[in-house]
Structure 1
């Protein structure tokens, strides 16, 4: 799109058409193509699968949706004309020629902003056509890179397996992952797509090695998908190893599998029955991850030795003989309180912590309530709410210590008269129409959790199940 296609006439037409775009239809079209990719990948028809992937790769609909999503999530405000120009000019470029391409487009944004939007858009576009393919190839109990899955699914799976007690030992570890040239070579060998799709993915991976745009993140979905692709096959390799099967085989009358593996992004957990199997499992994992140029550091836990405790993904497991206590870790609680303090305090030019006294209590509550709701939703599967009651007290005390700095006399009386209300016999902090949320009440609202089973997929056409799950988890 190097030509000057944006004259006064086309400007008027494009701007009016952008406002009339029915985005629901655009999203529905992309989802339909993703369903086709998923079904053809399950059937093993790589030719048709590649054709549907190329439709997403080259369609203007996908580019419009990608630009809309990326620009919406940035702090920079884009006008409609710039969004249209970005969508029409989105194509596969080498990082070397990206600057000259930006100069030819004559956009009204800086090169740093353009490069950030470009790399984020390409990452999202790759994820749109690659994720349904590897959703079909997903190994059992693999989470983190799949649509509509989150860390709570893995936590609930682990808790259920420990409660059922079919296994005696649990091996848990994580591996460090940073994209390198050797990883790209391994990924390209595993990608069985058309030449166009394969070339686009390879070009992007090569250019992302330098990653000057700052869009690379260990937590984004594409990176999680690449990790899943890279480690794909390790679970099958362990399950089909004859030596470990003979060492760890259950009783002939038992229907329990010899192994149970569960993974979330760079975490891998393995349940097994006999202590003798530990060294062989660790040896196989070390061999497998070394071949992938990854470092895996596992720790073995005896589930029959009580109490057994370990931390995973912000949750603390305390395994006892008759129950499992699932609580937020101390670090996650500290980060949560720090998030709230960031709303109320800031550092001055000397590095001293100063309260934002210009901020009213009502404005502070508006900013803090979404943080409380989000944290309560993330930890809705904990077993007891005593920790939440303690956190509510800490939050109230934090706001109290910040608010009383505005008073010079009769501090306590002013605080009680102006900032305290009793709602349903509960003491609440409030000002105006805004009432501070309580973690305990949010926890009671979100106690129901619809677990994602490993055989279910967002593309399996069971619309009722996924609509119910999405509504329940809002």
Structure 2
């Protein structure tokens, strides 16, 4: 057995060594990042497929959507909003990134926008589809981190508004510069989703991975992250 492999049969949900699983996934993500930097697309695809089949990555994806995310108790069209440890294990075994994947419809709800009476639509995928999105995102994110600019901060893992403020401060402290503050109204609702997926396909081969991405990534876990690659 590889030293980067964990015997899944040894643990029940309450005794999972999450740090070990996270290390396994992180090592794979680092390899994807390096391969993308080197322009080795074939290696990137191979490693992404390996990560999408990884038990560790599937466990982490299910844990995020069922225990950690803010909307963990929000149900999709199937009405499922809470999982027992046994059900989480079953969901892990059901996650597959293949051409046979077919996402269920999202449950549409309207939530108020801050500072006014206007409401915006929110599509809520099922627990299964949210977990699948999280799994796909784990494989895509390190590749696109290699393509993104160092001064891009929106919707990126490990970055936030305070990092952007610090970068702006360091940039303007030597001499005055222009700062453009723009808000794209209903950005993700109005942008062409097909054009966005076409942009992804410039870097992706026509394989199962791409097909599954098109089915599951337009809402939920991948939605904010996809906004970050619009301007790449």
Q: When the two structures are superposed, what TM-score results if normalisation uses the length of structure 1?
A: 0.37
| Aligned counterparts of 2:228 and 2:84: Cα–Cα separation in 1 | 37
Following superposition, the deviation at residue 116 of structure 1 comes to: 2.8
| Aligned counterparts of 2:51 and 2:212: Cα–Cα separation in 1 | 13
Among 172, 184, 201, the alignment partner of 1:175 is 184
Among 49, 54, 58, the alignment partner of 2:53 is 58
Q: 1:179 to 1:119 in 2, by over 3 A?
A: farther
Q: Is 1:144 paired with 2:177?
A: no
Q: Which residue of 1 is the match for residue 225 of structure 2?
A: 225
Q: 1:90 to 1:44 in 2, by over 3 A?
A: same
Following superposition, the deviation at residue 26 of structure 1 comes to: 0.9
- CA contact 2:104–2:126 (8 Å) conserved in 1: no
| Aligned counterparts of 1:44 and 1:90: Cα–Cα separation in 2 | 29
Following superposition, the deviation at residue 124 of structure 1 comes to: 1.4
| Aligned counterparts of 2:138 and 2:104: Cα–Cα separation in 1 | 25
Following superposition, the deviation at residue 31 of structure 1 comes to: 0.3
Following superposition, the deviation at residue 58 of structure 1 comes to: 1.9
RMSD across aligned C-alpha pairs, in angstroms? 2.8
Q: 1:22 to 1:153 in 2, by over 3 A?
A: same
| Aligned counterparts of 2:132 and 2:11: Cα–Cα separation in 1 | 26
Among 191, 197, 204, the alignment partner of 1:193 is 204
| Aligned counterparts of 1:224 and 1:136: Cα–Cα separation in 2 | 18
| Aligned counterparts of 2:83 and 2:103: Cα–Cα separation in 1 | 23
SS in 2 for 1:172: coil
Unmatched tracts of structure 2, length 5 or more: 1-7, 74-80, 107-123
Q: 1:97 to 1:179 in 2, by over 3 A?
A: closer
| Greater per-residue strand proportion | 1
Unmatched tracts of structure 1, length 5 or more: 1-12, 99-113, 233-474
| Aligned counterparts of 1:187 and 1:123: Cα–Cα separation in 2 | 15
Pick 1 or 2: higher relative contact order, CA cutoff 8 A, min separation 6. 2
| Aligned counterparts of 1:16 and 1:55: Cα–Cα separation in 2 | 22
Following superposition, the deviation at residue 165 of structure 1 comes to: 1.3
| Aligned counterparts of 1:97 and 1:157: Cα–Cα separation in 2 | 40
Q: Is 1:132 paired with 2:142?
A: yes
1:4-403 → structure 2 map (5 Å cutoff):
17-73=12-68, 74-75=72-73, 77-92=82-97, 93-95=101-103, 116-167=126-177, 169-176=178-185, 177-179=187-189, 182-191=192-201, 192-194=203-205, 195-205=207-217, 208=218, 216=220, 222-232=222-232
| Aligned counterparts of 1:32 and 1:16: Cα–Cα separation in 2 | 22
| Aligned counterparts of 2:9 and 2:33: Cα–Cα separation in 1 | 34
- CA contact 1:34–1:129 (8 Å) conserved in 2: yes
May I ask how many residue pairs the two structures share in their alignment? 192
Is 123-132 or 34-43 further displaced after alignment? 123-132
- CA contact 2:188–2:227 (8 Å) conserved in 1: no
- CA contact 1:14–1:84 (8 Å) conserved in 2: no
- CA contact 1:15–1:80 (8 Å) conserved in 2: no
Following superposition, the deviation at residue 14 of structure 1 comes to: 6.3
Q: 1:57 to 1:189 in 2, by over 3 A?
A: same
Following superposition, the deviation at residue 179 of structure 1 comes to: 4.3
Deviations 1:405-428 (A, max 9, x none): xxxxxxxxxxxxxxxxxxxxxxxx
Deviations 1:159-195 (A, max 9, x none): 222322153x332212131246833234323331241
SS in 1 for 2:126: helix
- CA contact 2:103–2:215 (8 Å) conserved in 1: no
Deviations 1:64-96 (A, max 9, x none): 121122111324553221111111112353235
SS in 2 for 1:193: coil
Q: When the two structures are superposed, what TM-score results if normalisation uses the length of structure 2?
A: 0.72
Q: 1:18 to 1:96 in 2, by over 3 A?
A: closer
- CA contact 1:18–1:80 (8 Å) conserved in 2: yes
1:424-443 → structure 2 map (5 Å cutoff):
none
| Aligned counterparts of 2:24 and 2:161: Cα–Cα separation in 1 | 29
Following superposition, the deviation at residue 133 of structure 1 comes to: 0.7
